Homo-oligomer: A and B are copies of this chain.
């Protein structure tokens, strides 16, 4: 389980409230680790108990009070330990692949539409990642340390989305060709 560690990485970059963390997970961190606000609140609570993070309750006027979390030395130590620890690749779970494999039962045209929709979604993500790449990392060869690591993870996102877009295109082309071949029979 890496949610705790993803939170530690995020807090190591900047301290913040549960709400703020949830927003970071919607953006940058969420590119490679998804989490909802409920999950984050619960996990932060546990992490306080473990001594990995500290809380500071901040009163605000005009806005609800917030709890600002910060990484502790014990949290740093845990993160270092976990990063050094070997881990297995995540197991794949790809809905759309299951559907493609089950396509023979149903309407191929309906599935093609769904694949096209996914291609567009992944295309949008790809464009967004590339925009960040261009804006925040214009000269990759000059990067080092933390910035380099952030860039490399972004590159992973770019590669993953690119692969998905290309796969969707391949599936679409094949499904359409198969469909037209069927018509000729």
Contact = CB atoms under 8 A, between A and B. Distances in A.
Chain A residues touching B, majority SS? helix
Contacts of A117: 86
Protomer copies: 2
Contacts of A6: 98
B95 A83 contact: no
B96 A83 contact: no
A45 B148 CA distance: 49
- Band of interface residues on A: 35 or more
Nearest to A146: B104
Nearest to A114: B86
Given A84-B110, A95-B2, A95-B87, A150 B34 contact: no
Contact of A171 (B95, B122, B152): B152
Given A94-B156, A100-B156, 15 more contacts: A2-B98, A5-B99, A31-B92, A76-B105, A80-B106, A82-B102, A83-B99, A83-B110, A84-B110, A144-B178, A155-B170, A156-B167, A156-B171, A159-B164, A163-B163
